[in-house]
Structure 1
Amino acid sequence: MMEKSFSFLSLMFSGALFGFFYAWICSTMWGLDATDPRVAIQAMQAMNGSIRNAVFAPVFFGTVVVLGITTAVQFAKGQRVAAGWFLAATITTLLFNNVMTFTILVPMNEALGLVVVPDSLDEAEAIWSAYSDPWKVRNYIRTAGCGLALALTAIGVLSGRSTA
């Protein structure tokens, strides 16, 4: 029963992480790109400052942990095929969520956070374009990786189902 609980948690956490990054693709960044770049810079600075919170942290930091525990539990219960899928999801999440975020996206966010929003619309547009376009590409990659991790998790859930 414990393996089913952890499998369910892994699926929920992986889905929440993928959904969060996906929302940035299909709404947040489009909205920011459509507004005054001075407002976009200020809004992104505010969002980057507010993301470090007790509501988001369990999913952001906990997904790889829950997947790792699920891998270990599945392996201990003799569910080697399921454990393999969960291990693949763990590694994928670690690389695309944790490593990519901390080595690429956080430094980009911190650099934007140091920007003093200029009064000039042209200057703000140059700053926003230099940030937004590269950030979006990297977030597309991160989101695709987290989507792959979600799919691997789902396969792990399905492969760990008992036939009895």
Structure 2
Amino acid sequence: MIVNITLFLATMAAVLAAGLFYSYAVSVNPGLGRLSDTVYLQSMQSINRAILNPLFFLSFMGAVFLLPASTWMHYGRNNIRFWWLLAASVMYVAGVFGVTVAGNVPLNNTLDALKLDGASAEQLSGWRRQFEKPWNMLNTVRTIASILTAMILAAMFIFTKDAQADQ
């Protein structure tokens, strides 16, 4: 029972994270890209501060812990699902969590430290250039990685069954 609950929660966390990054890629980032430099930088500062909340961390960090935990629970129990879960875990931890921690978070921290009030138009434009393109590229990487994670999990559910379900 705990194996199935952990697998369910891991899948939900990973799919919720994929939805978040996908929505950024297809709507939030293009919408923000249409804003002036000042408004863009202010908006990203506000978004980056607002996202640091328990609901975000529940899904984003939940997948970091629950996918490997579910993988471990399937080791020796169901070798086929173990390999699918290992692939999903590696994809998420490296491609989503790793990219976020190594790339997006440092950019967010740099942006957060900027004092936008009183900055010249040239400063604002330069800060935006240093932030927007790299941040969006990294978001694309983690969007693809999170979607691949969700696809691996979906394929696992479609093409395998719980080896001990009939026992």
The alignment's TM-score, normalised by the length of structure 1, stands at 0.89
C-alpha distance 101-65 of structure 1, shift in aligned 2 (>3 A): same
1:56 aligned residue: 56
- Deviation track 1:105-142 (CA, whole Å, cap 9, x = no partner) reads 11111111111225544432332132111111111011
2:47 aligned residue: 47
Would you say 1:81 and 2:80 are equivalent positions? yes
C-alpha distance 71-65 of structure 1, shift in aligned 2 (>3 A): same
- Deviation track 1:82-121 (CA, whole Å, cap 9, x = no partner) reads 0111011111111012211111111111111111225544
How far off its partner does 1:9 sit? 1.9
2:72 aligned residue: 72
- Aligned-residue identity in percent: 25
C-alpha distance 82-6 of structure 1, shift in aligned 2 (>3 A): same
Distance 2:79 2:48 in 1: 40
Distance 2:87 2:146 in 1: 12
Give the number of aligned pairs: 163
Distance 2:41 2:60 in 1: 23
How far off its partner does 1:155 sit? 2.3
| Aligned residues: CA RMSD | 1.9
1:34 aligned residue: 34
Runs of 4+ in structure 1 over 4 Å off: none
Distance 2:150 2:102 in 1: 22
Q: Per the alignment, in what secondary structure is the counterpart of residue 56 of structure 1? A: helix
Q: Per the alignment, in what secondary structure is the counterpart of residue 139 of structure 2? A: helix
Would you say 1:134 and 2:154 are equivalent positions? no
Distance 2:158 2:60 in 1: 24
Whether the 8 Å contact between 2:41 and 2:128 is mirrored in structure 1 is yes
Q: How does 1:137-148 map to 2 (within 5 A)?
A: 137-148=137-148
Structure 1: stretches of 5+ with no match in the other structure: none
